[in-house]
Amino acid sequence: MEEMSEVFQDGDRVRLAVEFVGNIWVVGPDLYAGEGDGPNGKGEPITVPAGSTGTIAPGSNTSPQSRYVVIMDGRNAIMEDSRLFLVVRSANLERIPGRTRVVWTGADTFLVEQVFHYQDVVRLRTSVTTEDGSVYEAGTLGDIIPMDFRLSQAQNMEVAWETGVYPVRLSRYDVTVNIPAAFLQLDSDFQPSDR
């Protein structure tokens, strides 16, 4: 008897449970890759390591299906300024904590932003240089701590969600810095899989 696949919804955070081995199907402003041959035949081979994280792309339905389109986190090594979309079997994905929102920037274009909450533990995806010239290293741990004491915690978080900029207390540097969501990732994304 075949095991029922987990149902994922648009914006769900996921991790590759196994290494992805496939072929690039489409090269354009973004890269699309899947297992096997693409619509135009076999493309360049691509592998993505197990444990890599991403988000279920908009347009995926909410019924059990065999494959989902996943927008992988970060930039890809093949074309640095493009996003990497993988068509992945649902059995090869696992749900991870986290929240996202989809921001439509045109009729067919969108951005996926990770959304954080009060006291979420985060890591810097890349090194960050602030307006005063301070540099904070990639991988540094911090936690979301709103510091505007004129507002309640809920009001502080609403401001962060609207602007996409979060106050992060970086424990290594003993400082709180406002950092855009694109530079942050939940620390739990890096925790080992249960599989």
The pLDDT, as a whole number, for residue 115 is 87
Q: Into which CATH architecture does domain 116-190 fall?
A: Roll (2.30)
Spatial distance between the Cα atoms of 93 and 70, rounded to a whole number of angstroms:
10
State the pLDDT confidence band at 8, using cuts at 50, 70 and 90. confident
β-bridge partners, 115 = 99
**CB 115 within 8 Å of CB 160:** no
Cite the residue boundaries of each domain of the chain with CATH code 2.30.30.40.
116-190
**CB 6 within 8 Å of CB 90:** yes
Give the strand pairing for 165-170 and 175-180. antiparallel
The pLDDT, as a whole number, for residue 31 is 85
